[in-house]
């Protein structure tokens, strides 16, 4: 395993995470990938499915259970990985979730639970995972730390107009019907950008290249409506998977400490 690039990726049983594992397996670089999912069963199922899709890869895949809302689960994931390897070369914090409904008016009675759960999963849980695994990461000779953010996290774009551009515009009156604000998710991903920046500076002298990746408007199951997203012009999740691999393999190293997108650098 010493001759392979060791990756730990969370949320790898669906969407962009699943596609990232497939992208790694199609690379000329040899990888050993710890496939993090909420349960060991989901991880094993993902590995079986990916192996069928990419049967000739020289990469090795290993199942890991990781629940972002559980410190015990995070500790157990660390112990399982640390028992098998002496380093991690790339940590991909991909796991995340959205708890907003598709109508802001429906969110009003549930604001506290929506925000608390979004922050617990997307920000706090991700931060705890990073803190736990940093001792393994800094042992790599070329470490990379990746956080998956969103195009919806940009304050610059939100300061100019109701965002995203395809969202129905709020009209006068109350409650605001037929408006998909996604405010809990948006806010948590903006906070995640700050988490990335803090880790960028904390680990700068350790040689860790740290990024947020904004994978673009993709038809994942994050909001539970991939077909609707496709109708609105969303791309395939595989685009995000390939992008994660490109950053892992050093193609955006000059943009460390920033939110990188396929088109360049995303505004804060």
- 189 counts as catalytic: yes
């639970």: which residue's tokens?
Answer: 113
* CA 28 to chain centroid: 23
Candidate list 189, 214, 258, 261, residue with the active-site label: 189
Candidate list 150, 153, 188, 214, residue with the active-site label: 150
Q: Please name the residue ranges forming H helices in 54-140.
A: 71-82, 104-107, 111-119, 126-137
What DSSP line would sit under 118-156, residue for residue? HHIIIIIIHHHHHHHHHHHHTTSSS-EEEEE--GGG-HH
Candidate list 18, 78, 163, 185, residue with the active-site label: 185
- 185 counts as catalytic: yes
C-beta of residue 46 within 8 angstroms of C-beta of residue 58: no
3-state SS assignment for residue 12: coil
For the chain, helix, strand, coil in percent to 5 are: 45, 15, 40
- 117 counts as catalytic: no
Picking from 185, 226, 199, 94, the residue whose alpha carbon sits closest to that of residue 143 is 199
Active-site residues, by number, are: 150, 185, 189
């Amino acid at each position: 395993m010493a001759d392979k690039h060791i990756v730990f990726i969370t949320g790898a049983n669906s969407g962009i995470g699943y596609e990232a594992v497939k992208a790694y397996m199609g690379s000329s670089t040899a990888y050993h990938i710890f496939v993090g999912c909420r349960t060991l069963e989901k991880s094993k199922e993902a590995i079986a499915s990916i192996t069928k899709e990419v049967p000739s890869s020289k990469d090795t895949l290993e199942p890991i259970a990781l629940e972002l809302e559980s410190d015990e689960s995070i500790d157990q994931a660390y112990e399982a990985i640390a028992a098998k390897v002496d380093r991690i070369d790339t940590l991909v914090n991909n796991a995340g979730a959205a708890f907003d409904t598709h109508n802001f008016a429906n969110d009003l009675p549930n604001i506290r639970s929506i925000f608390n759960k979004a922050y617990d999963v997307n920000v706090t849980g991700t931060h705890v995972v990073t803190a736990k695994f940093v001792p393994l990461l800094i042992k790599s000779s070329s470490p990379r730390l990746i956080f998956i953010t969103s195009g919806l996290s940009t304050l610059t774009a939100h300061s100019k107009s109701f965002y995203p551009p395809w969202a129905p515009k709020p009209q006068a009156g109350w409650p605001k019907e037929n408006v998909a604000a996604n405010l809990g998710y948006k806010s948590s991903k903006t906070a995640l950008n700050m988490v990335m920046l803090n880790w960028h500076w904390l680990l700068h002298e350790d040689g860790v290249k740290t990024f947020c990746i904004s994978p673009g408007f993709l038809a994942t199951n994050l909001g539970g409506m991939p077909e609707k997203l496709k109708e609105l012009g969303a791309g395939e999740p595989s685009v995000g998977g390939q992008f994660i691999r490109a950053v892992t393999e050093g193609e955006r190293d000059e943009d460390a400490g920033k939110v990188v997108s396929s088109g360049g650098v995303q505004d804060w």
